[in-house]
Chains A and B, each alone.
Chain A
Amino acid sequence: MKCCGPGYASPAEAVKAPSEKLLYTIAIYTGTGIQKPDYLATVDVDPDSPTYSRVIHRLEMPGIGDELHHMGWNACSSCFDDAGMSRKYLILPGVRSNNLHIVDTATDPRAPRLHKVIDGAEIKAKTNLSGPHTVHCLGSEIIISFLGDAKGEAPGGYLHLNKEFEIQGRWENSMGDIKFGYDFWYQPRHNVMVSSEWAAPNTFMPGFDLEEVGHLKYGRELHFWDFEKREPVESFYLGEDGLLPLEVKFHHDPDSTHGFCGAALSTNVIHWWKNGDTWLWEKIIDIENEMHPDWPIPLPGVMSAILISMDDKYLYLNNWLHGDMRQYDIRDPHNPKLTGQVFLGGLLGKAPTVNGVEVAGGPQMFQLSLDGKRLYVTTSLFSTWDNQFYPEIRTKGGVMVMIDCDPVNGGMKIAEDFIIDFGKEPNGPSRCHEARYPGGDCTSDIWL
Chain B
Amino acid sequence: MTTHTVTITNRNGATFEVNSRRPLLGQLRDQGVDLPYGCEYGGCITCAAKLTKGEIDQRRQVALNNRQIEHGYVILCVARATSDITLEIGVESHDKLYRNPFLDPLQPHELKADIASPKV
Contact = CB atoms under 8 A, between A and B. Distances in A.
Q: SS class of chain B's interface: helix, strand, loop or mixed?
A: loop
B98 A152 contact: no
B120 interface: no
Contacts of A210: 101-102, 105
A151 B102 contact: no
A296 B94 CA distance: 24
B112 A205 contact: no
B38 to A, nearest CB: 3
B45 A33 contact: no
Contacts of A30: 36, 38, 46
A211 B63 contact: no
Nearest to B75: A206
Given A65-B37, A212-B112, A206 B43 contact: yes
A31 B46 contact: yes
Contacts of B112: 209, 212
A206 B63 contact: yes
A32 interface: yes
Contact of A388 (B38, B92, B101, B108): B101
Given A205-B38, A205-B63, A206-B64, A152 B100 contact: no
A150 to B, nearest CB: 8
B43 A152 contact: yes
A33 B91 contact: yes
Contacts of A65: 36-38, 46
B41 interface: yes
B98 A391 contact: yes
Nearest to B107: A211
A215 B113 CA distance: 12
Interface residues of B, number: 31
Nearest to A148: B43
B39 A201 contact: yes
Nearest to B63: A206
Nearest to A217: B115
A215 B111 CA distance: 10
Nearest to B45: A206
A387 interface: yes
A348 to B, nearest CB: 12
A96 B91 contact: no
Interface string A183-227: 000000000000000000110011111111001010000000000
Nearest to A202: B43
Interface string A59-85: 000001101000000000000000000
B7 interface: no
Contacts of A33: 90-92
A292 interface: yes
Interface in A19-39: 30-33, 35
B19 to A, nearest CB: 24
Contacts of B102: 210, 292, 295-299
A339 interface: no
A135 B34 CA distance: 32
B43 A394 contact: no
Given A202-B63, A295-B100, A297-B103, 7 more contacts: A33-B92, A64-B36, A96-B46, A152-B41, A152-B62, A205-B39, A296-B102
- In order of increasing CB-CB distance, the 8 nearest A-B pairs are A33-B91, A96-B38, A206-B45, A210-B101, A152-B43, A202-B43, A205-B44, A206-B63
Interface of B: 34, 36-39, 41, 43-46, 62-65, 90-92, 94, 97-103, 105-106, 108, 111-112, 115
22 contacts: A30-B38, A31-B91, A96-B44, A130-B39, A151-B43, A152-B62, A202-B44, A202-B63, A205-B38, A205-B39, A205-B63, A209-B112, A211-B101, A215-B111, A215-B115, A217-B115, A292-B103, A294-B103, A384-B45, A388-B100, A388-B101, A391-B98
